[in-house]
Amino acid sequence: MPGPDDPVVLIVEDEPDVAETYRLWLEDDYEVRMAQNGDEGLEQLDGGVDVVLLDRMMPGLSGDEVLQHIRDDELECRVAMVTAVEPDFDILEMGFDAYLSKPIKSEQLQDTVQNLLERSAYDSLLQEYYSLVEKQATLEATKNRAELAESAEYNRLKSDIDSLRDELSETLGGIEDDEDFIATIRGLGDSDEP
């Protein structure tokens, strides 16, 4: 059972069965809070929440609106959109850290929460990089090459990722190629473990 120092995961999901399933998957490793709608989710958000699992389409306050509140209030939590909404280019303007398309499996949810917690240890530059790469991967998984090639937003995203990679490479000591970059980033995550 989780103790008082364990990470806190807030599940904001309007389908009770889905929320309960996520809770059961996570409760052995994390303190889990649950909210059935966006307003309730905002009420439960405080500085103690580490990860928010946020449904995008809910009655009342949508997941998009909850996410905007989280970012406007500059809360330090990581946010995973867990939703049946197929991603479109609008995700480029959203401040999430991971995007999971329903239905999801237990291992996928657990891995995402763990990865987001590890990312929390990294500085803001690296968090921004991970967020952009997540958006790129999400779009590449759902859009064809022609759509991507025609999208000015997507091309700007790729350019932003390249710039951030260069900036991170300089910060991390002049990494020469992608394999070295990835190995260094993984090493950072490993060094943060107790």
Mean pLDDT of the chain: 83
**pLDDT value at 124 more than 60:** yes
Q: Rounded to a whole number, what is the distance in angstroms from the first to the last CA of the chain?
A: 19
Instruction: Output the six-digit token pair for 140.
Output: 């590449």
Contact, 91 vs 139, CB < 8 A?
A: yes
Q: How far is CA 194 from CA 127, 189, 190, 191, in A?
A: 21, 11, 9, 8
pLDDT higher than 70, residue 187: no
C-alpha to C-alpha distances, 143 to 86, 87, 103, 136, 155, nearest whole angstrom: 10, 9, 19, 10, 13
pTM: 0.66
CATH 3.40.50.2300 in the chain is located at 8-120
The superfamily in CATH containing domain 8-120 is: Response regulator (3.40.50.2300)
Pair 156, 162: CB distance under 8 Å: no
Q: How many angstroms separate the CA atoms of 175 and 179, rounded?
A: 9
Residue 69 or 95, more confident:
69
Instruction: Assess whether pLDDT exceeds 90 at residue 30.
Output: yes
Beta strands in the chain (DSSP E): 8-12, 31-35, 51-54, 78-83, 98-101
